[in-house]
Structure 1
Amino acid sequence: MAENPIVNKSARVVVVEAVPARRMLLADVLRGMGYGSISTVNKPQELIGHLKASPTDWILMPLSSEHTVNGMHILKILTTYPSLNKIRVSMMFSDEEKIHIPLAFELGLLSCHVSQYNRESMTRDMQTLLFSLQQTNQDLTLVSANYLRNALVEQRASRLRLVLEQNLNEMYPADPTILFNLAKAQISCSLFEESKSTINHMELVSKKSNPLVLQLRKELEDADTHNQGAHGEGSGDEDEIAPIDPSTGYFFPQTKTNLLGLKNCVIIDADETTQYLAETLVKDAGIEDVLVFSDGKLAWDALKDKPEPDFILMEWVIPSLTGPLLLQRFRQKGFLHVPIVIISSDVGEDDLPLVSEMGVSAVIDKPIDQKSFFKSVVSVLQNSRRPHEQISLEQKIRQLLESGSIGEAERLWQPYRMDTRIPPSSQWQLEAEFMFYYERYEEACEFASNALQEFPSSLSLLNLLGKCLLKLGRYKMALKCFSRAQNISPMNIERLCRIAETQHFLKDSAGSAAAIKEAEHIDPNNQLIVETKANIALDNAEVKHASELMGKLESLRGVLAFMNNRAIALTRAGQFDDGITLYRNTIAALPGQWSEIHDSIAYNLGLAHARYGELKKAMDTLQRIKAPSPLLKKKANSLLDRLKHAATTGNALELIEASDTKSMDQNKVKARGEMLAKVELRKGDMCCYLVFQAGDAAASSRNLLNQLPVFAKMTDEEKSPETSTHVKPFKKRTN
């Protein structure tokens, strides 16, 4: 995405060196390479003070193992405080200090260098680092892994190298270069069968890797022969490195390494040949848990009550429950993160809008070609795990927001906002997505409306703007957005349900019924349709009918959300009695199997009475709550105590109003996002941090982390203004 400041020479660099001549040399080398913002400090202790006061991108420093505060302390501080997570460190090591290199990379080091303080060697080292950044498309994890790999090879730390290569393969599944290094690590650890499997997959992924495959096979043969000779074994006939099924021409490795990092996979296709080929290919990639279904209904019945699978391969035209319907049910169920790949030649132009809306990762034509299939799966997994391109990053952020993973969404949003190559209209759209999540609907509308001027047929924008307008009670405008989107993608059941509810709010019962009928024509047994009918029945005070419909639902989460939002909207519009009636009707309509939800609705009913001064009714309602949930019981008792105090003393009851709650919620969201940004730091966020663990091999090095210096969190005044970027929308002038 955004160009790294180290690459474009805009980095704010700090050089740490106690010897003045060396410090000047390092600074001069960097200036000669084009870096303009360079600060210098004498010792790591002084660097801590600099980090508190000044924005920094890149640190060049020696390990300084003899100092009270050393380079390991600095790396630990950078990984501990989210505000410092973007700073990268290049470190110089003396020959005696090289033993500490593995721990430094475990703590997030970018690059390691020999302590040779002469202009020629330092210039060459820095140019090599820049070249590595460019060759890896500025992927700092791969850059740091290259430096670490070289260090481990020099130290002959074969097992540590194998750990590194295995973890990299999980992050970059089936990348030819990663596979090459994994195979070499396996050979060095005498894991010959595993290396055969890795070499086979390397050849499968890319024709360009054939020379490297030949090199690896020669190394494997030599190592295997040497190993057998060392153990006094006869040479014998060797197993074929790449066994081939003569009937298909496909490679079938004998030993399977899980090269895709997937625990399970689901295949849905009525064609037995496709089933066999797809199952064989994914199992050959090391995925042992593979479920295969011949029709959509069997797949749905088997998966609907299970955890989200890791990967789904499915045909578009399948019996019982076709691809478009099954796909929507998966997403409605909450399978929001699983990559779904369609294997079909029957996906037409009219299907593409729905395919896009449902977040399908790829469409692969039949018949399956082994190499193109494998490459497509690899590409999908790479975009899912480490999205870098704009479209895949936007899709990933929306999935995270929809699933409530705000911390992770904000983490991905940060580099997106800073990328000047992304046009403002795309920035506004994501800004609108976040504003909707923060319940700042007016701002969300403004951002979405401006983006829609650039992308008038964007389904995601039309859906988002419609949802915002629906929240604001602007039903006619919301209906226009939903209808426009439905004309583009007419098979979307969720949107038809939104249209039905919107027309209900507009008192258009005929239009509402027509939208539901259209949805039922597409998928008559869809739970979302039943839920929508129950919502409308509740709002119409059709208690018996609502109860019958709710009894057919597998979850009442959507009904409760509708009831709460609707009741709040009614009371805000001055229709207090209607809001109270809706709560009561919902309680009365609860089927027997959902009786435990009674208390949560009763609490909201009591709160509504209290907010409008009906203290006795509020107390009567709250006293009937049995509340098996300790949290709900605590809330109910707390409110009940305040009600009794207000009734006894005659003092006004103080409740947190909606505007105050909204402000508090936003603060909680911000705090939670900051916490998750730290807690949920993932592999690849900071070079090899969390990718590589030195383990017991670095036991002596860990002594350098004793007496970690105190580092106070940066205050708002100490933070750089550049860390608070806000993209402002503008409205186009109309002539």
Structure 2
Amino acid sequence: MKQSKALERAKLEPILSDFLLDKSVGIVIVEPTMAIAGTIRRVLLENGYSNIFIAHSVLDAFNTMSNNSIGWMFVSPLSDDKLNQWHCLRLPLEVQAYSNIMISVLINEPSGTNYEDYYAFGALSIHSRQLTYNSFADELAELVKRLLASPTVGQAIAMDMRARLQKTADTQVLEDFEISIVQKIDSSLAQRLRVIEARLKNNSRLEAMLDMRQTLHDFPDSSGSIKNLSQKYLGTSDIQSFKGKFPLATVLILDPDTSQQQFLRTVLTEMGAETIVCCETLDEACEALHVGQVFDLVITEWKIHKVEGHAFIQHVRQHGHESTPVVVHSSLVKPEDKPLIEEIRGVFIINKPSPVKQFKLSLTDALERWNFPQESADQEDKIVNASKAGNLDQAKMLNQVFQALPKIEQRRKDYLTAVIAFHEGRFQEARDIILINSRKGTPSSKEISLLGKILLRLGDPATALKCLEQANQMVPGNIERMCNLADASAEVGKPERAMQIATEARKIGGDIGMVQNVYAKHAVANGLLAEASEYLDSESTAREMISFMNNLGIAHAATQKWTESEDSYRNALKALDGRHPHLGALVAYNLGLSLARQNRLPESLTQLKIAETQGEALIKRKAADLRERCEKAIAKKEPVVLKEAMREIVSGRAAAPQSEMDVYEERAKVQNHGLFRVIDAQFKTPGMDLLSELPKNIVRKDKDLAGA
């Protein structure tokens, strides 16, 4: 009978608040100090709960659960015990028979506690062990109040988490939290309004306006509440016009004409700008972008001291300012310049000279188009730039609106779907979308360029090169495409061509990280070590170069081109010139292995000792093992015997290692449990193999349930 009840509760998603408000629910208090356990028991009894057990260890509690129906557990840290608080938190997540149990945790130091970590593991509530009868009675009353106000336990926990976040004044964390709640446990109107308000507090105005429109569509009676929020945060209740205040606090101006700088400074100050940075040269403006200040607007002349007009606006985008609108204030933009401007996106042209009134009108129109896009072209720009910036939630939200527009050709909609798929790593899906569209008509430069990037990721550099070259002929000068072209050229065995393209890209954007990475690795591949050296102080650039050269050496070794392989390894090490030794250790190990295969054991030992001394844990172990084998072979005057497992270490853009939270989520047998999978833990919990520590009767019960 107990097993069927457990099965019934395990299938119930989410757990209802009534389950814990039922005074007959079984409660076990896991607390070694009898005074604390007795106080908790007394408060619970006086609140009408009667089915209460006390256990002095987790093992005692597990045995209690085996013989009684338990739905609620209070657990102390028990950090010195084999089974502790974290085992209890994970029990309902990983053992289906106990997925109905909610865990309240007792903590020793409330002031230093990261509450997100407990809530991320499905905790119901958090209490201090330094409790008194009155303090715990108040905390329990608050918990009961939240449960009474919420249909589900998850919503009740969210109330407490929300209150804690509001005290921190971190508006970004609060916005992310409210979005997670609406996506995973509560899609009610009240929660939708919380998301809108959190977005407005965090100045995510566009997303807030889109949410307003969708919420009004889904809940027509919400008009009054939405208008109140719009009036409070945007200064207008006219949500249909999709307009509102746009940010204009910080502005960067690049124009060598000081009179134009003064004109712009005067007008922008009148429009509310507080910080205006004026630059006369490209280097000054790029330095301002490097400093890290986020500009609400960038204004630039098109021609600056013989520098191509498109160079600076690409600097803006590649320096991480994808969400910043750019205004080209110039009379020098030619029709042939506009295709590249359109590729960069979010760039608006205001012709010189402009009277003050006309300039204000034109600038206001540009800012409104960017911050609250109405036209399909502006929406498309916003989606692509958000995707490139990694703001995929925003891109998907905007794309959902775009896909619903009735008068947009399907091909444009499919292109944006492919863009998002590409940036999410779904390369095959993105490729298929572009190929299907190409059969319906002549593909555009943006479609061809995207296909080239996709094929490069899918390991087809020859076809990728054709696509990228064609797109570059149609619209030359795109820095990102030039970098991809260089990589594709190198992949098909054209290192000199790769270097030529990388050099051209450097002329346009030499201080851009992506360009520096590409230039450095292809310079080293072509033996131009001095040219690459200035960029290799950066660890990210050095890592990119090492990855490329290391894999090039491995590829040569695989075809027994030992000289070419050795040159690749040694050039990489020479280029580093002692910098970033942990990166050089990887190459030193592979070079040592290659030399051992050629029976050049003394030379191999030199490299292996470097790898063993400077490498990270994996490389240290492998280098030590191979070194010992080489030393034995030298002593015996025999060829070294290599284990089959001794292979070169391939480097590259590997997926990030799983955090312990990822691992726990894979083990979990429940989809939702409190705020589990709703918020993320901020630290790594102690590594524990839960099932191996559980009493056999609990494991057996779970297996029986799984087979039922």
Bin for the TM-score computed over the shorter chain: 0.5 to 0.7
User: Is the 1:567–1:580 Cα contact (8 Å) retained in structure 2?
Assistant: no
The correspondence for 1:361, drawn from 325, 329, 347, is: 347
Matching residue of 2:532? 549
Map 1:188-203 → 2, pairs under 5 A = none
Quickly say closer, same or farther: Cα 1:650–1:311, change in 2 above 3 A. same
The structural deviation recorded for 1:320 is 5.4
For structure 1, the 5+ residue unaligned runs are 1-64, 92-102, 111-132, 152-160, 170-174, 181-201, 206-258, 676-708, 715-735
Corresponding residue of 2:274 = 288
Does residue 1:168 correspond to 2:238, yes or no?
A: no
CA displacement at 1:603 relative to structure 2: 3.0
1:68 match: secondary structure: helix
Cα separation, 1, equivalents of 2:396 and 2:625 = 38
Show CA shifts across 1:345-369 (max 9, x none).
3222100111112224321223335
Q: Quick one: which of 230, 249, 264 aligns to 1:278?
A: 264
Distance of 1:88 and 1:429 partners within structure 2: 30
Matched, 1:311 2:297: yes
Which residue, out of 335, 341, 361, partners 2:327? 341
Counterpart residue number, 1:56: none
Alignment match of 1:265 (pick from 251, 262, 278): 251
- Change in CA separation of 1:659 and 1:555 when aligned onto 2, cut-off 3 Å: closer
Alignment of 1:469-548 (within 5 A): 469-508=455-494, 515=501, 532-540=518-526, 542=527, 545-548=528-531
Structure 1 564/710 Cα, relative in aligned 2: closer, same or farther at 3 Å?
A: closer
Residues 199-238 of structure 1 correspond to what in structure 2 (within 5 A)? none
Deviations 1:15-65 (A, max 9, x none): xxxxxxxxxxxxxxxxxxxxxxxxxxxxxxxxxxxxxxxxxxxxxxxxxx9
Q: Deviations over 1:82-132 (max 9, x none)?
A: 5736965357xxxxxxxxxxx99547699xxxxxxxxxxxxxxxxxxxxxx
Note the 1:244-259 alignment, pairs <5 A: none
Residue 252 of structure 2 contacts residue 278 of structure 2 at CA under 8 Å; is this kept in 1? yes
Aligned partner of 1:606 among 561, 583, 589? 589
The farther-off stretch of 452-461 and 508-517 is 508-517
Count of residue pairs the alignment pairs up: 486
Counterparts of 1:66 and 1:472, CA distance in 2: 51
Q: Answer whether contact 1:550 1:590 (CA < 8 A) is retained.
A: yes
Distance verdict in 2 for CA 1:525–1:403, change over 3 Å: closer
Q: Evaluate the alpha carbon distance shift between residue 389 and residue 607 of structure 1 in structure 2; reply closer, same or farther with a 3 A threshold.
A: farther
Deviation of residue 303 (structure 1)? 3.7
Of all paired residues, the percent bearing the same amino acid is: 20
Preserved contact between residue 589 and residue 611 of structure 2 (Cα < 8 Å): no
Amino acid at match of 1:366: K
Shift of 1:335: 3.3
Aligned to 1:624: 610
Shift in Å, 1:657: 9.8
Assess, with a 3 A threshold, how the Cα gap between structure 1 residues 519 and 135 changes in structure 2: closer, same or farther: closer
Mapped partners of 1:605, 1:144: distance in 2: 68
Residues 1:587 and 2:573 are matched in the alignment: yes
1:341 counterpart SS class: strand
Q: Give runs of aligned pairs for residues 586-735 of structure 1, distance below 5 A.
A: 586-591=572-577, 595-603=578-586, 606=589, 624=610, 633=616, 636=619, 653=645, 710=674
CA contact 2:182–2:192 (8 Å) conserved in 1: no
Q: Among residues 136, 139, 147, which one is paired with 2:224 in the alignment? A: 147
CA shift in 2, pair 1:168/1:575, >3 Å: farther
Name the SS of the counterpart of 2:332 in structure 1: coil
Give the whole-Å Cα distance in 2 for the aligned partners of 1:272 and 1:323: 18
Distance in 1, matches of 2:410 and 2:261, equals 45
The answer on 1:298 being equivalent to 2:298 is no
Q: Following the alignment from structure 1 to structure 2, what is the Cα–Cα distance between the partners of residues 304 and 482? A: 29
- Give the equivalent residue in structure 2 for 1:84: 183
Note if contact 1:583-1:601 (Cα within 8 Å) is conserved in structure 2. Answer: no
Deviation at 1:338, TM superposition (A): 2.2
SS in 2 for 1:624: helix
User: Separation in 2 of the partners of 1:568 and 1:438?
Assistant: 25
- The structure-2 alpha-carbon separation of the partners of 1:371 and 1:147, relative to structure 1 and needing over 3 Å to count, comes to farther
Instruction: Tell me if structure 1 keeps the 8 A contact 2:193–2:226.
Output: no
| Cα gap change, 1:434 to 1:571, in 2 (>3 Å) | farther
1:63-78 superposed matches below 5 A: 68-70=148-150, 76=158
Residue in 1 that maps onto 2:336: 350
SS of equivalent residue, structure 1 residue 486? helix
Structure 2, unaligned stretches of length 5 or more?
A: 1-144, 160-176, 199-208, 633-640, 667-672, 679-708
Q: Do the aligned partners of 2:503 and 2:519 also contact (CA within 8 Å) in 1?
A: no
Could you tell me how far apart the structure 1 residues matched to 2:590 and 2:349 are? 50
Does structure 2 retain, via aligned residues, the 8 Å contact 1:79–1:85? no
Please say if residues 622 and 636 of structure 1, whose CA atoms lie closer than 8 Å, have aligned partners that are also in contact: no
Q: Distance in 1 between matches of 2:320 and 2:522?
A: 23
Structure 1 residue 266: deviation in Å?
0.5
Counterpart of 1:459 (choices 428, 445, 458) is 445
Match of 1:368, SS? coil
Give CA-to-partner distance per residue, 1:382-434, whole Å, 9 cap, x none: 55556676544443444344344556555656666787876553454344445
Letter in 2 for 1:147: G
Q: CA deviation at 1:534?
A: 3.8
- CA deviations 1:291-340 (Å, max 9, x no partner) are 11234343234444444433201121233534222223333434333221
Q: What is the aligned counterpart of 1:331 among 317, 333, 346?
A: 317
Post-superposition Cα deviations, 1:255-283, rounded to whole Å, max 9, x if no partner, equal xxxx5434411112234453233222322
Structure 1 segment 341-490 matched on structure 2, within 5 A: 341-370=327-356, 373-378=359-364, 380-381=366-367, 384-385=370-371, 390-405=376-391, 409=395, 424-437=410-423, 441-454=427-440, 456-490=442-476
TM-score computed with the length of structure 1 as normaliser: 0.51
For residues 661 and 344 of structure 1, do their structure 2 counterparts lie closer, same or farther at Cα, with a shift above 3 Å needed?
closer
Larger RCO (CA within 8 A; separation ≥ 6)? 1
